[in-house]
Amino acid sequence: MDCFIIEGPSKIDGEVEISGSKNSSLAILFATLLTDEKCILNNVPELVDIKTTYKILSYTGKNCFFGFNRFEVEEKSNIITEAPYDLVRKMRASVLVAGPMLARFKYAKFSMPGGCAIGTRPIDMHLEGFKRLGAEISMEEGYVILKSRKLKPAVIKLRFPSVGATENLMMAASLIEGKTVIKNAAREPEIEDLASVLNKMGARVYGAGSDTITVYGVKKLNGFTHTVIPDRIEAQTFMILGAMCGRVRLKNIVAKHCRTLINKLKKSGASVKIVDDYLEVSKGRNIKAVNIKTEPYPGFPTDIQAQWMAYMCLCNWKAKITETIFENRFMHVAELNRMGAIISVKGNTATVVGVKNLIGATVMISDLRAGAGLILAALSAFGRSKIRRVYHIDRGYERIEMKLSKLGANIKRIEE
């Protein structure tokens, strides 16, 4: 099992190219199940989750090629409308096989999905939406079975703007003739990117990026060629790194996708410069304490909460961090405290008391974004840090140690 060895503190200064969006790529790759025609997706990051998706699509009968950030999917055999436990357990997003399979084949069987241990994250909103579209739902030995003789358009109101449920229902509705409306829909940029692909395939999707999405489905969808948007979570992780450890210039970034964090960074005293083809973040004289509360997009992202907590460990007073999305996303607190941080948790709120500096230590990653927070903390800390279970990081950050090394970090990957 690999780990990172980091010698800090790091003086970060340089330019980094942001990879394509992991979350956008995953949804769009599962959308290839909606058609029997060739699909080409560019700017796909080389990540463990993408490789898992490759295996799932291959298992179903798709012919896949993935290399040099280009993913091609063709169909040359009958599709198997099942996603087995051994593949699905590795990744939460694998539930996105359900919508395309149900819409195209009127049947889908998939294991309950796995992924990071940051909360229960039930799929009941997905299933309630499928039921509204006319699906019959049953359970069998840990598998969900969806079937329908004929799906119908519907008006669906989500009780929470779930990204996964919004994506699954958008894809299913694209092959249901008529008008389907999804209310209280997720508004993330990845939703807009998926909508762009569905429109290229022949569906008519309106309102993506707002809380109401209207989908006019068709009988058959076509293949597509598309380039994935930049990964806003990776971008925001490097932005916080710049604010903590020096200066980072980011290429291949959409600044408007990061607007909430940009405003918080400015309040904290960091310098943020936005130019046409890059964004630059530099450390200020002092790190001011800034409270945050995670919310659905365009609010502060839950996927940046751990990184912000690492940043606030060095603030000049006290900062409150409130987590409203997932009920178990403070597992990095104990690890940060091992590095000399002073963080206490009460309910869904963590209080961070700033310290002069963090101290290197051996820490363990619990989930993908917690791992990013621990890496930032180690880069700013005095001394040697050993970060274990980096396989979590490999799920969402493409060649992160190489990117950090180019910025001046003393980091290496070793096998324990």
Neighbours of 130 (CB within 10 A): 28
Q: Which of 344, 318, 143, 312 is nearest to 244 (CA)?
A: 312
Tokens coding 167 = 């994506």
The helix/strand/coil state of 84 is: coil
Q: Up-side HSE of residue 257: CA atoms within 13 Å toward CB?
A: 21
| Distance from the first to the final alpha carbon of the chain | 6
CA distance 287 to 290: 9
Cα-based distances in Å from 44 to 22, 75, 109, 336, 400: 7, 20, 27, 32, 15
Q: Are 106 and 147 in contact (CB under 8 A)?
A: yes
Query: Quick count: other Cβ atoms within 10 Å of Cβ 63?
Result: 13
Q: Any catalytic annotation for residue 116?
A: yes
CB-based contacts of 358, cutoff 8 Å, min separation 6: 313, 314, 336, 339, 340, 341, 377, 378, 380, 381, 382
Tell me, what's the pLDDT at 114? 56
Give me the catalytic one of 3, 39, 64, 116: 116
Continuous H helices in 37-117: 48-60, 85-88, 98-105
Contact 55, 66 (CB under 8 A): no
Predicted pLDDT at 93: 84
The reported pTM is 0.96
Task: Say which DSSP state 304 is in.
Answer: G
Residue 350's nearest CA partner among 329, 370, 364, 367 is 329
Q: What confidence score (pLDDT) does residue 118 get?
A: 44
Judge if the upstream peptide bond of residue 9 is cis by omega within 30 degrees of 0: yes
For residue 5, what are the CA distances in angstroms to 48, 170, 401?
21, 43, 10
Specify whether the CB–CB gap between 336 and 370 falls below 8 A: no
Helix (H) or strand (E) holding 190: helix 189-201
**Coil, helix or strand for 112?**
coil
Dihedral over Cα of 294, 297, 303, 304: its sign? negative
- How big is the chain by its Cα radius of gyration, in Å? 21
Per-residue model confidence as pLDDT tens for the chain (416 residues): 899 999 999 999 999 999 999 999 999 999 999 999 999 999 999 999 999 999 999 999 999 999 999 999 999 889 999 988 888 887 878 899 999 999 999 999 998 765 555 445 578 999 999 999 999 999 888 889 999 999 999 999 999 999 999 999 999 999 999 999 999 999 999 999 999 999 999 999 999 999 999 999 999 999 999 999 999 999 999 999 999 999 999 999 999 999 999 999 999 999 999 998 899 999 999 999 999 999 999 999 999 999 999 999 999 999 999 999 988 789 999 999 999 999 999 999 999 999 999 999 999 999 999 999 999 999 999 999 999 999 999 999 999 999 999 999 999 999 98
288, 270 contact by CB (below 8 A):
no
Is 177 strand, coil or helix? Answer: strand
Do 251 and 271 meet the contact criterion of CB atoms below 8 Å apart?
A: no
| Parallel/antiparallel/unpaired status of strands 212-217 and 204-206 | antiparallel
Q: Which residues contact 395 (CB under 8 A, 6 or more apart)?
A: 22, 47, 48, 49, 91, 116, 368
Residues with Cβ within 8 Å of residue 120, at least 6 apart in sequence: 327
Give me the domains of the chain, ranges plus CATH numbers: 2-15+231-415 (3.65.10.10), 23-227 (3.65.10.10)
Integer CA distances (angstroms), 274 to 61, 138, 232, 258, 345, in order = 45, 51, 15, 11, 35
Please report the pLDDT score of residue 328 as a whole number: 79
The predicted pLDDT at position 97 comes to: 96
Q: How many CB atoms lie within 10 A of CB 299?
A: 14
pLDDT of residue 179: 98
